[in-house]
Amino acid sequence: MKEGVARFWREIPQRYNFMGNQCGACDRVFFPPRESCPHCRRKSIGVMKEVKLSGKGEVVTYTIIHVGPEDFEDQTPYPIAIIRLEEGPQVTGQIVDTPLEDVKIGMKVEGTFRKIQQDGHTGAIYYGYKFKRRR
């Protein structure tokens, strides 16, 4: 049986839902989820609980990509940022729907679900999170 995109979505829920986890021993939040807390080590085994993150955060730093990698050349120039989510984890993501000159450190952003790329061979479209300025 051929694997479908829906199965791909189900198998990587954090890519599509901002699902992380939280250590039951020290309350630190992780994204993507971890098997155990690197701070608590053995105390966290079996106490990591799944949490849905808000997807809201703030730009910590960013850069503008002028020469994109293969399959992203048509999107240049585009901003890539490190985002500190409200719950604590930092993630890397593309900033969309914002003029380049308006991207700033400290800018409030929120996650959005967007097309990342399309597989030319199979035609599968891969989606994931990007960030847009919060109004």
* pLDDT tens per residue, range 69-108: 887 888 899 999 999 999 999 999 999 999 999 999 999 9
Residue 111 and residue 55 in contact, taking contact as beta carbons nearer than 8 Å: yes
- Amino acid at position 4, single letter: G
Q: Phi/psi class of residue 55: alpha, beta or left (left: φ > 0; alpha: ψ in -120 to 50)?
A: left
pLDDT tens track for 109-123: 999 988 887 776 777
Please name each of the domains of the chain with its CATH number. 54-133 (2.40.50.840)
Using a cut of 0.85, tell me whether the model's pTM lies above it.
no
31-35, 68-72, 78-82, 130-134: least confidently modelled range: 68-72
